[in-house]
Structure 1
């Protein structure tokens, strides 16, 4: 129990540093934009554009598993783990009454793990390894994108740092699992083609 108390104490110290001590008015605006879902519409549009340039079977697999990835991370984090752990958000924590700056609404009562972090790290992981598998290109900016959103969640006071770590772990595990599913799916279809060349190549 002492270990969890120590981790909670360190987590609140880091949260206070990021949320209060790092705060600058112009940075408030940027961080609020970073965590806003509408800010990233161009990213999703670009991914869709990239997908449409793939052959149809591969593109459909990519889109299907992208949706599954988001569904798993969002439901697991919001409807299972948050209820199980019942960790209060910073704005509901009595220890942080004098720390919270109130630059955004509090939202739901529980915060662990961060659904934002789970969703974006899940997508980043699945996209990174799938794109690497398909094109041999390494889109490192996907990791930066997910990290920026995670940091913004702490900065605006929505989550503790460990909420982000927990969400990222869930997202990475989910993204890797679905990439392996994608890899196996493509390999299975290719093997079918080798056995029967009259079939269209997947």
Structure 2
């Protein structure tokens, strides 16, 4: 376990302190903010019910349930594990580049951003892949960029992101699998 935590700390300092540049310093703090990613989710919340009618309404309900499950599960693990965020740890805080105005006081493991976005990515991938094909993989790219941003700006360790991603993908797999077995999106026949 000590080797894993040492690796985690080293990777954190590479991402947060060495693999940096002006473009990422400008762009990545935005990537983790709701005003940046909310338009995609708002689009999905309008697009799917509009195109799939009643099935789209149930998709919307499962989308929100997936978010709630990932968010609450991540909060549970944060309280259970009690890991300090990099900027709140008195030993390493002086060496952390913090690129956000507000620094959370909550626990670090697991990342709620990672859990939420990877959960929604998995749910969307499972349920929308039949309609959008190979483009469905972009949901995971989106979630990965947001997760990477969390480490880059100094609010999470890489293992927090991995833990949150695994937690979110499990929740998305369960909710998406249930949705596909019971409801499944199909275009309504109009005659």
Fold shared by both chains (TM-score > 0.5): yes
Number of residue equivalences: 185
Q: Secondary structure at the match of 2:91?
A: helix
Q: What corresponds to 2:121 in structure 1?
A: 124
Shift of 1:50: 2.5
Structure of greater relative contact order (alpha carbons < 8 Å, 6+ residues apart) = 2
Of the three residues 91, 95, 120, the one matched with 2:91 is: 95
Instruction: Tell me, yes or no, if the aligned pair for 1:70 and 1:122 is still in contact at 8 Å.
Output: yes
Supply the RMSD in Å over aligned alpha carbons.
1.9
Q: What corresponds to 1:75 in structure 2?
A: 72
Measure the CA separation in 2 of the matches of 1:125 and 1:117.
12
Measure the CA separation in 2 of the matches of 1:171 and 1:81.
12
Instruction: Tell me, yes or no, if the aligned pair for 2:49 and 2:55 is still in contact at 8 Å.
Output: no
Residue-by-residue CA offset, 1:27-64 (whole Å, 9 max, x unaligned): 21100110011112321232123203333221011000
User: Which structure's CA Rg is the greater one?
Assistant: 1
Shift of 1:18: 0.3
Measure the CA separation in 2 of the matches of 1:140 and 1:184.
21
Q: Which 5+ residue runs of structure 1 have no aligned equivalent?
A: 188-199
Of the three residues 168, 171, 174, the one matched with 1:174 is: 171
Q: What corresponds to 1:85 in structure 2?
A: 81
Measure the CA separation in 2 of the matches of 1:166 and 1:45.
26
Shift of 1:136: 5.8
- Is structure 2 residue 157 aligned with structure 1 residue 160? yes
Measure the CA separation in 2 of the matches of 1:40 and 1:109.
22
Shift of 1:160: 0.1
Q: What corresponds to 1:106 in structure 2?
A: 103
Q: Which 5+ residue runs of structure 2 have no aligned equivalent?
A: none
Q: What corresponds to 1:194 in structure 2?
A: none
Measure the CA separation in 2 of the matches of 1:30 and 1:55.
35
Measure the CA separation in 1 of the matches of 2:179 and 2:49.
17
Q: How does 1:1-202 map to 2 (within 5 A)?
A: 4-78=1-75, 80-104=76-100, 105-133=102-130, 135=131, 137-138=133-134, 139-186=136-183
Instruction: Could you list the structure 1 runs, at least 4 aligned residues long, displaced by more than 4 angstroms after superposition.
Output: none
Q: Please report the TM-score for the alignment, with normalisation by the length of structure 1.
A: 0.85
Instruction: Tell me, yes or no, if the aligned pair for 1:92 and 1:109 is still in contact at 8 Å.
Output: no
